A and B are shown apart, each in its own frame.
Chain A
Amino acid sequence: MTEPVKVLTEFVHEDESWTIDRYLRAGGYEAARKACTEMQPEEIIDFVKRSGLRGRGGAGFPTGLKWSFVPKDTDRPKFLALNGDESEPGTFKDRLVMERWPHSIIEGALIACRAVGISTVYLYIRGEMPLGYRRLVGAVKEAYDRGFLGKNIFGIDGFDVDMTIHRGAGAYICGEETGMLSSIEGGRGYPKLKPPFPAVSGLFGMPTVVNNVVTIAYLPYIFGRGIEWWRSFGTEKSPGLMPYSVSGHVERRGVYELPLGVTLRELFELAGGWSRPMKAVIPGGSSSKVLRLPDAWDVPMTFEGPMEAGSMLGSAAVVFMDETVCMVDALYNLLRFYEHESCGQCTPCREGTGWSVKIVRRIAQGKGRPGDIETLLGIADQAIGKTICVFAEAFGWPIQSYVALFRDEFEAYIRKGAHVAHGAQPQAAAHAG
């Protein structure tokens, strides 16, 4: 049985865990001090590369490699944009760290800034997290007061870092990195075509590193405790720890910090299991493909594990569903989310989300038509890979996987106009507005 390893989450349940005094008592800011004063920027990047740290925001991109793409010999200002938008349904790990252990993010940001030669940081927090916003603003103020932000940090001449908390205003697409940059620039949260990648031309057209807040929050621990320690968790390709967000049908929902590679069964058991037989699990946030249970119980939650099972680790947001869940309904729920959140720039996504909601609603209301399933799959197929950002995948993958794995339920609905899941409530039909 894989045991929880509490690093970012060790003190989060304490009162006042978010204060700088609590953080300093836990040894806070020492790792960054050491890294920034004793290592050359190149060495820091190399260290992160060797640690094998990969992004915790969803795509799992190697962090050190990403940093190395930023041009070195340039007079242009460079930026660090921290992604705390956390809007992927099922995900709530970033909220916990931002609300209750915010100084780990600031300390990690200092290491990133030193490595890449950055002096301006923006942290984008979603609008629906007012408490996180207040805590981060407070933490930044404390850090300035104690000299961990501002000028000549750690006594290093010219090591200046400014950090500003930028509050969003309700838009899932602002979690997509270039959508987030547009939003920081003061515009609609429209994603931008890549290339150019943010590392070369990002915020205000300048070289920009975009990292998830939890990716950054792990840095002080990796530098403080060493590569060997970090690599003692997880696997060769997926080293280290991950805060898994576990929700849906389990007794004790919450954030579980564990090594990468924990199985879905272990997560389920750690979260207290559930009283009814299980039917399905979403392993990596609502955009990742749904997996069938019991088939997926032994899938290891590494970057590779869910992929081999036909899905992805994504944001490590695990949503369990028991046998009462109607999969037509579940898909309808998610597609309404995606319809609402499509930014509308690209036709296949703007129209595809709308059409697919209408079709699944029709099916859920018992008015499905022969050919509806094929049309749905066609919509997904025509959107995936054909838009500016991968939002098209985010709504296309659910369509493909719910239909592929639970086709019998969709067909039965269309044939009989009724749900077939045991005890399932046809909520969609009852509440289609």
Chain B
Amino acid sequence: MSAETVDKRELSPEARKEFEWLCGRYPRRRAVLLPLLRIIEREFGCIDEAGMALAAELIGISAAEVKSVVSFYTHYKRDTDGKYVIWVCNTLPCALRGARELTDALERKLGVRCGQRTADGRFSLKKAECLASCDTAPCMQIDDDHYDHVTEQQLDEILARYE
């Protein structure tokens, strides 16, 4: 993508302050990249090309470097994701305690398979690789909200909270 097609972004003054504070917490600016990506995710709703360009500029590295880092991690919200991301854990301890049934119910309700986004762009449904919550399976997270012991009956009510 050429530079012209990327709309230029700026951090809000408050986010800018947080970034400057973070720069003082690490001996090298590069180490601020992961926390900065969280700031950008929060400020702009997701991490897209323009967000990565902004991170590159603020850290002083190439956009390709930033992309290489972003693509390594699964938990950043990307522009290809729905407005809300549902993470449903399916790893063994959860699979033993109803994760498959919960995943099936979510797939039915949303009309998508795991890994897909709903047609209206509201939700992405993703399989999580262990949420460290094996004692409360079946469990899921919607963005930063964690839900334990989720039953199919609760799903309508929970999903309705995410407009």
- The answer to whether A and B belong to the same complex is yes
A-side residues, CB < 8 A to B, are 77, 86-92, 94-95, 126-131, 162, 164, 166-172, 183-189, 204, 245-249, 253-255, 282, 286, 317, 319, 321, 325, 330, 333-334, 337, 340-341, 343, 427, 431, 433
Inter-subunit contact B69/A187 (CB<8 Å) = yes
Query: What chain A residues lie within 8 Å of B131 (beta carbons)?
Result: 128
Distance (whole angstroms) from the CB of B15 to the closest CB of chain A = 16
- Set of chain A residues within 8 Å of B93, measured between Cβ atoms: 89-90, 247-248, 319
Q: Give, as a whole number of angstroms, the nearest-CB distance from A284 to chain B.
A: 13
Interface size grouping (class) on chain B = 35 or more
B residues at A contact (CB < 8 Å): 25-28, 30-35, 37-38, 59, 68-69, 72-76, 87, 90-93, 95-97, 100, 113-115, 128-137, 141, 144, 146
Which of B28, B87, B144 is in CB contact (< 8 Å) with A204? Answer: B28
Q: A207 vs B96: C-alpha distance in the bound complex, in angstroms?
A: 42
How long is the Cα–Cα vector from A92 to B91 in the complex, in angstroms? 13
Q: Which residue of A lies closest to B96 (CB)?
A: A248
Q: How far is the CA of A94 from the CA of B115 in the complex (A)?
A: 28
**Contact partners of A321 in chain B: CB under 8 A:** 96
Q: What are 30 pairs between A and B in contact, CB < 8 Å?
A: A88-B130, A91-B134, A92-B132, A92-B133, A127-B73, A128-B128, A128-B132, A128-B141, A131-B146, A162-B25, A167-B34, A169-B76, A170-B75, A172-B129, A186-B32, A186-B59, A186-B69, A187-B30, A187-B69, A189-B73, A204-B27, A247-B96, A248-B93, A248-B97, A253-B97, A254-B135, A319-B96, A325-B96, A334-B92, A431-B100
- Quote the shortest CB–CB distance from B65 to chain A (angstroms): 9
Q: How far is the CA of A346 from the CA of B139 in the complex (A)?
A: 33
Please report the C-alpha to C-alpha distance between residue A309 and residue B32 in the assembled complex, in whole angstroms.
45
Given A186-B34, A188-B72, also A91-B132 (CB < 8 A): yes
> Chain A residue with minimal CB distance to B76?
A169
A394 CB to closest chain B CB (Å) equals 13
Given A131-B146, A325-B96, decide whether A168 and B132 contact each other with a Cβ distance below 8 A.
no
User: How far is B3's CA from A389's CA once the two chains are assembled, in angstroms?
Assistant: 39
Known: A167-B38, A186-B32. 10 other contacts (CB 8 A): A90-B93, A128-B87, A162-B25, A168-B75, A186-B33, A247-B137, A248-B92, A248-B96, A249-B97, A343-B72
Question: Which A residues lie within 8 Å of B74 (CB)?
Answer: 169-171
- Are the C-beta atoms of B27 and A89 separated by less than 8 Å? no
What is the bound-complex CA distance between A91 and B159, given in angstroms? Answer: 28
B91 x A183 contact (CB < 8 A): no
Name the distance in Å between B56's Cβ and chain A's nearest Cβ. Answer: 12
Complex CA–CA separation, A126 to B129 (angstroms): 12
B130 proximity list for chain A (CB < 8 A): 87-90, 172, 337
- What's the nearest-Cβ distance from chain A to residue B88, in Å? 12
Q: Which 3 A-B pairs have the closest CB atoms?
A: A170-B75, A169-B73, A247-B134
Residue of A nearest to B91 (CB): A89
Q: Which residues of B have CB within 8 Å of A341?
A: 129
Give complex CA distance A91, B93 in Å: 10
Residues of the B chain whose Cβ atoms lie less than 8 Å from the Cβ of A330: 92
Task: Select one of B35, B73, B95, B136 contacting A427, CB under 8 A.
Answer: B95
Shortest Cβ gap from A398 to chain B (Å): 10
Q: Is the CB of A340 within 8 A of B129?
A: yes
